[in-house]
Amino acid sequence: MNKKVLLGMSGGVDSSVSAILLQKQGYEVIGATMRLWEKDGENNSIKDAKKVCEKLGIKHHTIDLREDFKKKVIDNFISTYMCAKTPNPCIECNKFMKFDAFYKIAKQLGCEYIATGHYAKTYYSEKYNQYVISKAEASQKDQSYFLYGIEKEIVPYIIFPLSEFNEKTEIRKIAEENGLEVANKKDSQDVCFIQNNDYIGFIKNQNIKENINKQGNIILTNGEVVGKHTGIINYTIGQRKGLGISYKEPLYVIKLNRERNEVIVGTEEQLYNKELLANELNFLLNMELEGKEIEIEAKIRYRTIPQKAILKVENNIAKVKFDKPQRAITPGQSVVFYIDNVVLGGGKIM
């Protein structure tokens, strides 16, 4: 049995401890760090990953994927925003970089498996008669939401060494016990190519030909004009602050109309909806779904609790009807479907 695994290493504590755990399980580990974006601290991350590999006696590769990352992640991020939708670039990165390009490189290096420091789980399910991705034990850190876009054919070859851990303190303790300098390194929180979480500032620095600051009307759902906006790109669904309008009750952005260059606002009650449509679907379970109503749980963003819903798929469009109204369903974001804590699939909210 080929027990050689290519491990994605960011220079952080999660992926570093993953290397230790894989070694203990008998795998021959090769570390690899992907260069995705030129940014402050990237070289330090590569150096940290190399140090860990040297400490553990494993090979390390640096893989330059910046060109592909620009085309498939950054350009998609910009174009989605320009269409008055809110993208999630981490999902695209996982789909195209960390579990597609990375798997192809693993095969070139003679590795049977790939591994990452994600908090998720893979296992063979007797119920579904296939390998599945499910939630991690640490529910508050579970990252399965970001993984629905992976090709299901490679799921049997993915290992998540951190799947059984409940606390980050356990991970750091293992790093300390093994003398790793990254034991107390801070976790990265923001999107890697965005400085200080300034999405709009990033886009405005991309020399986009279209006038992204074109003013237009802020209107109520009945069409009444209540103010002027400074460019649709500056607004997101659910936003309350910074609207620059005065009204008898608090108003929130409930819709963006790119064609008419309008920001539609309404009451908080109008932010809630029980239904959504999604396209660009990807399913990880071998289930017949077309035209059937399936009981599921669904998440409309990473930091939400999965909610009970009914899923119906017709002609590559998913219709999701929730038991309870959901706040600020946002086009461009992903909705992810679960059955028994297993990732069924997901898609982009329309």
Active-site residues, by number, are: 93, 192
End-to-end Cα separation, the chain, in angstroms: 45
Distance from C-alpha of 68 to C-alpha of 328, rounded to nearest angstrom: 32
Distance from C-alpha of 192 to C-alpha of 41, rounded to nearest angstrom: 10
Instruction: Please report, as a single letter, which amino acid is at residue 87.
Output: P
Question: 62 has which bridge partners?
Answer: 33
Distance from C-alpha of 258 to C-alpha of 255, rounded to nearest angstrom: 10
DSSP letter string, 66-123: HHHHIIIIIHHHHHHHHTT----HHHHHIIIIIIIIHHHHHHHTT-SEEE---SEEEE
Tell me the helices (H) and strands (E) count for the chain, helix number first. 8, 17
Find out whether 162 and 118 touch, Cβ atoms under 8 Å. yes
Q: What are 248's two structure tokens?
A: 């008898």
In 3D space, the residue among 97, 76, 72, 143 whose CA is nearest the CA of residue 332 turns out to be 76
In 3D space, the residue among 16, 64, 10, 62 whose CA is nearest the CA of residue 37 turns out to be 64
